[in-house]
Amino acid sequence: MRGRALIPAVAVAQVFFSGAARAENPRPAPLQNVSIEQRLNEQVPLDLVFRDENGQSVQLAQYFGRKPVILSLVYYECPMLCTLVLNGLTAALDVLSFNVGKEFEVVTVSFSPTETPELATAKKHTYLKRYGRPGAEAGWHFLTGDQPAIEALTRAVGFQYTYDPALKQYAHAAAIMILTPQGRISRYFFGVEYAPKDVRLGLVEASQNRIGSLVDQLLLFCYHYDPVAGRYSAVAVNIIRAGGVVTVVALASFMIVMFRRDARRKRRLRAVLGPNAAESPVTSTSPH
């Protein structure tokens, strides 16, 4: 399934257009080519070369292979929207028990070919300080690149944007994407606020359950990703089924506890009163 999210950077708004809405309210000229087209399960070209915060040439493949990856596309001199995207991502990561660099990687790429590693370094310093967890500097990467690499990456993930020369700004959408360790697109989350539950479940699914807990597995049984809404939605039938399983397990656990408690009581009685004490309906220690 494919969904489209439209958010002009200059207006900081998110609009989802249906066919009827487009006919009644056509997009402004700067937004004609601005959207995000979901390309779930498609492969991102990992041989693309960018520059890291230190100005070193790096291939995207360096950040893949073992862990799921959160990908954010921004530009560092964006006056408003990109800051909101990164703020929203950081706020979600703050809540997660997973740690950047340990359970997953974050790759932030500027889609402006004029931006420099110095800008990337400054942005990385800002968000690592805000995130505040040790080891994150090795797991959150801020990249810049040349136009061919940028176009190849944005095209692969369906990120369509445009430059407005009058405003000297980019019009673009707001979203983050979760990729598998192999570089396939697993999930899209739209807007500038990302529910920590959705991000966590997206990472667990993208990792093919290599991270997370039994609780996450239960939640993934009860919640399914809705690609149109770009979030996890409850599945009522599965919740009822899961509730039934939990009830059965709870009853079985209660019965096991009671049987064990009764067995311990009988053992104590035998130890004090003899081997037949537990079977006697009445036990008396008074002399006749």
Answer whether 13's CB lies under 8 Å from 7's CB.
yes
Q: Which of 228, 42, 46, 53 is nearest to 125 (CA)?
A: 53
What is d(CA 262, CA 260) in angstroms, rounded to the nearest whole number? 5
Domain ranges of the chain: 19-209
Pairing of strands 69-74, 105-110: parallel
pLDDT at 262: 72
pLDDT at 250: 57
Pairing of strands 175-179, 69-74: antiparallel
pLDDT at 1: 41
Q: Tell me which DSSP letter residue 95 carries.
A: H
Angle subtended at Cα 197 by Cα 175 and Cα 89, rounded to the nearest 5 degrees: 35
What is d(CA 205, CA 224) in angstroms, rounded to the nearest whole number? 11
pLDDT tens digit at each of 288 positions of the chain: 444 444 444 444 443 333 334 445 466 666 678 999 999 999 999 999 999 999 999 999 999 999 999 999 999 999 999 999 999 999 999 999 999 999 999 999 999 999 999 999 999 999 999 999 999 999 999 999 999 999 999 999 999 999 999 889 999 999 999 999 999 999 999 999 999 999 999 999 999 888 888 887 777 778 888 888 888 887 744 444 444 545 555 555 666 766 677 767 777 767 776 666 555 554 444 444
pLDDT at 213: 82
Quote the tokens at residue 8: 């002009």
What is d(CA 33, CA 287) in angstroms, rounded to the nearest whole number? 100
CATH of domain 19-209: 3.40.30.10
Residue 232, C-beta contacts closer than 8 angstroms, at least 6 positions apart: 195, 197, 198, 201, 202, 223, 224, 225, 226
What residue spans of 158-212 are helical by DSSP H? Answer: 196-206
Quote the tokens at residue 277: 């004490």
